[in-house]
Structure 1
């Protein structure tokens, strides 16, 4: 039976698990994005899943299909419920192990096992009534059905049900006399326990919110009197309790607790034989999809658009309408409730490099980050910010952002920039992406322009998709493959940024006018001063 992986081809899984954070994450603020996505899900160790980019179109489309299915509310809610219930079962098992009295542990194991059985069968029953289109979730349903159809599972289910019925049929009386408590077989046919419970508003259903599931008081540890009563009942009815012990020995016996591992990892490692390792693996992999969709849900509620992009293999004709920086959008939404400014990006046939100029603090760097974010997220198979999106299947993203000089590097910032660029240009291919931000800002304008003029032909020769934020207007007219973009200002107030990025020849005019107005150096202001 071929193993199912909901994220990776088999050969990529080990590499993905060990994947470190990519170098470009900090520059693109993807470190902030992934930290937010995985927050509260630390036990699943999802971060490497968001680092590793599949290198083939088939894997990306496989994930896109699952993402598309999960955009169906019914599918999403059922997968989410499955994940929450399975997490609850894991937590129950972890707590039951800590209970002091063996008989209490055994009874709770039994009821938790039945919850697990009902969870798998309930999920299959609900998903059978929903249209699923992706090959990934279809295979998930098939594999889950194969598990519940195995001889092991059916025998496990039958033994559990029969044993629970035997345990529930036990009737006994508690005799309290002076300071002595004893138990005996219940000779009275009338059972007043429920009447007493109703009189005192006691909950006889345990902790389960669903009355169809057995109650599991796994959060409650007995005192010594209750334990003595339970031991007395076990002596009165040895057969079902011996059967329960044998059942737990077969299905529930936990192994040794590995050092420095979470409960989720221990359970995944097979501490409880009845928990299918495949089911636990699939639930972890499904967390990748649930975590990302949970992360973007507030932005969608805010009215921002997301779409599953068309992936281009040998074309640079990318497009994204109403796109935005995901990290900035979440920060604005959480801190101020503001909605991020959206922009469009597009390259036509023969175009390869965006050169972005304009005034400082006008959104140029944000636009550049957006392009990098889009391609990483698209490579993961995730919905990306924007509408009508077409993006490149990339084999690597290389960023060069202006940061303070590293005094411990043994060389200056300019040399550091050049060495890093040289290394990345050697590694890059036509499927690579460069995000360059204020390159060579540590040197003079003339030297920066000269060096940039040496770099540009190499990028064009590599055919690498590039976005280059610069203060040098001359780069925007380097050749027909260059698309000139400018960050715009308010025409009625040239000092006010709109954060809109538009196709426009670089002329420096808006920047110059905004600076002149800021410092009172416009023609009108000077004439008024002279007068």
Structure 2
């Protein structure tokens, strides 16, 4: 009996009752992480990755455990072993799920799956034995595979499968066709035409390297003639086929649950690493963040909005990165500046990095030192809803109240373009009330606003501005920098759009 070991995602096999809490309803959508996670999961729906993405953790042991596995997978040879392990395990599992109508064919098919499983376990075990592993997760998988491979249960499965496979390989028979009838018999002195037939038609075979797996995959079911031949073989070699059927009954549940779980968790790492690779054309850098539950000083270097970077990579364009920093007593990044200048993107970036960090994943930045939050809360602008019969301001206030009731001193909060439907005085009053409550709570976060005075509320609030090209303030750079808000660039852009600049007015008057 194997002792309870870690899994690839958890330092101790998780109890569902101790898993991290699910994110607030709006968080993933507001941060566009729902799109990111859907892209990562595409083609792998069977693994239900959403269950992993929906379980952020504020446990540094869990996060560190995953960081170690990612660090091990930076070694190309180790990554190849894990890729083969996942591919082989998936092939066996897919084969076992195949529904075959003929019981004799199903027995033979099952035997092949069991033999493939034994080969896969041996290959993965040997591969991990040779790998320079440092992580507890991969070392425990290596030890578990080694113990399983040495177990009497596995050895019996492998030996019996090998014996039956050899027995089937040794079967020789002759098929006679005459007057529309087929008979099968033991071979006599008849010449074997198989070699000459194969040689004759070799030039019509598929070119070397052509993968016809997709075509063969649809040909698993036997036709009527093949089924008839198989059953005549069963009568000709009754003991062998009876043993194959008995093998199926005896080992029907041979695939251990921990092995299935290891395949799923390993696939999760591989899919995320592949996603990281796809974003490199956009210039995205990746790092395992330094995390703390006590130190609230934060520093992000060359961070990118991962959802936007995914779009940029698809268009072969570079993603603009930004640097962010909070030094206590600073808690809130108050971002102002012209519209379409990168304010919302920066707010999303801040939330994304904290959420991805709480999943134990590499984050899209060159460097990142972050506080590990208990949750990420978001408050983004919503369109008025006819169904709720409530005004936009009322809805914003209700959602803000719910957020503030749930947020703790260990939370990250993101307020984006809040109270834009009110007057300037009301937006300031409401915004100041919210900011002071966030500050009193002790949470960290971002507040995107069109009210410059909010960026100067007190020492806990840091003013940042989206910038424009110094040569032409109508051109957005999408760079957000620490700067005192003055509203001049925004005002100039509005004046220009309405032809109300000094030059425009002077020309009109003249």
- Partner of residue 388, structure 2: 409
- Say whether the 8 Å CA contact 2:284–2:309 is kept in structure 1: no
Structure 1 CA distance for aligned equivalents of residues 311 and 281 of structure 2: 15
- Partner of residue 61, structure 2: 58
- Say whether the 8 Å CA contact 1:5–1:282 is kept in structure 2: yes
- Partner of residue 233, structure 1: 233
Structure 2 CA distance for aligned equivalents of residues 419 and 518 of structure 1: 35
- Partner of residue 213, structure 1: none
Deviation at 1:82, TM superposition (A): 1.8
Structure 2 CA distance for aligned equivalents of residues 383 and 67 of structure 1: 8
Change (3 A) 1:435 1:417: same
- Partner of residue 268, structure 1: none
1:74 matched to 2:77? The reply is: yes
- Partner of residue 140, structure 1: 141
- Partner of residue 255, structure 1: none
1:354 matched to 2:333? The reply is: yes
Gaps of 5+ in 2: none
Deviation at 1:157, TM superposition (A): 0.4
| Residues 365-380 of structure 1 aligned to structure 2 (within 5 Å) | 365-380=344-359
- Partner of residue 453, structure 1: 432
- Say whether the 8 Å CA contact 1:326–1:370 is kept in structure 2: yes
- Say whether the 8 Å CA contact 1:353–1:465 is kept in structure 2: yes
Q: Kindly provide the CA deviation profile for residues 318-342 of structure 1, in whole angstroms up to 9, marking residues without a partner as x.
A: 11111111111112222x2212111
Structure 1 CA distance for aligned equivalents of residues 218 and 429 of structure 2: 72
Structure 1 CA distance for aligned equivalents of residues 210 and 506 of structure 2: 79
Q: Kindly provide the CA deviation profile for residues 218-258 of structure 1, in whole angstroms up to 9, marking residues without a partner as x.
A: 83333323332222222222221221121112113xxxxxx
Cα RMSD, aligned residues only: 2.6
- Say whether the 8 Å CA contact 1:24–1:397 is kept in structure 2: yes
Structure 2 CA distance for aligned equivalents of residues 128 and 277 of structure 1: 22
Deviation at 1:527, TM superposition (A): 3.3
- Partner of residue 121, structure 2: 120
1:35 matched to 2:38? The reply is: yes
Secondary structure of the equivalent of 2:185? strand
State the TM-score, normalizing by the size of structure 2. 0.92
Structure 2 CA distance for aligned equivalents of residues 331 and 160 of structure 1: 49
State the TM-score, normalizing by the size of structure 1. 0.88
1:174 matched to 2:154? The reply is: no
- Partner of residue 264, structure 1: none
Structure 1 CA distance for aligned equivalents of residues 486 and 128 of structure 2: 59
Q: Kindly provide the CA deviation profile for residues 97-139 of structure 1, in whole angstroms up to 9, marking residues without a partner as x.
A: 32x3322222222122111110111111122222122111111
Change (3 A) 1:365 1:303: closer
Q: Kindly provide the CA deviation profile for residues 176-225 of structure 1, in whole angstroms up to 9, marking residues without a partner as x.
A: 33333222221239644334323323999xxx999xxxxx9883333323
Structure 1 CA distance for aligned equivalents of residues 228 and 15 of structure 2: 54
- Say whether the 8 Å CA contact 2:6–2:136 is kept in structure 1: no
- Partner of residue 7, structure 1: 9
Change (3 A) 1:315 1:17: closer
Deviation at 1:17, TM superposition (A): 10
1:25 matched to 2:28? The reply is: yes
Gaps of 5+ in 1: 211-215, 253-272
